[in-house]
Structure 1
Amino acid sequence: MSQTRSNAYIIEIHDRAAGIVTKDARGFRFFSSERLFDRLEGRQFRSAREAERAARAVFAERGRRLS
């Protein structure tokens, strides 16, 4: 039996759906599902993990601004 890899992944940060990334020929493209993460909209990443790190950084920055 062969394994099939997904071409789309949901990025969740602290139980919030930040967005999804979809795989294409150049890497992974981010699509925001929440206004907080809109600045990542359309950005290309080398991996889904890199997109997740970027979303975590956006979330952490929001927390620093509120402190």
Structure 2
Amino acid sequence: MHSARIVEVNETSAGIVVPEPDGFRFFAAHPDFHALEGRVFRSPRHATREASALQARRRGRRRP
């Protein structure tokens, strides 16, 4: 059985994923990743990719 995994993006603890029958549910640990709260991903790797993409989109908006 799988256990909870930490999701890190660029040395930031974005949250954790917890195994469920349908995948891995994301729980945000950092406010920048609350948009992913409660989403279910196929794997911890998919959650990490989405968290990285979210951070990249947020950084893109902040630049002039």
Settle same-fold status: TM greater than 0.5: yes
> Equivalent residues in 2 for 1:10-21 (5 A)?
10-21=6-17
Identity %: 44
Gaps of 5+ in 2: none
Alignment pair present for 1:58 and 2:58: no
Structural RMSD (CA)? 1.0
Report runs of 4+ in structure 1 exceeding 3 Å deviation: none
Listed one character per residue, the Cα deviations across residues 3-49 of structure 1 (whole Å, up to 9, x for unaligned) are xx641110111111000001111100000001100010000001110
Specify the structure having the higher radius of gyration (Cα): 1
Unaligned runs of 5+ in 1: none
**Distance in 2 of aligned mates of 1:11 and 1:64:** 21
Q: How many residues align?
A: 63
In 2, Cα distance between equivalents of 1:52 and 1:15: 12
Q: TM-score, normalised by structure 2?
A: 0.92
Rounded Cα–Cα distance in structure 1 between residues aligned with 2:5 and 2:47: 10
1:33 alignment partner in structure 2: 29
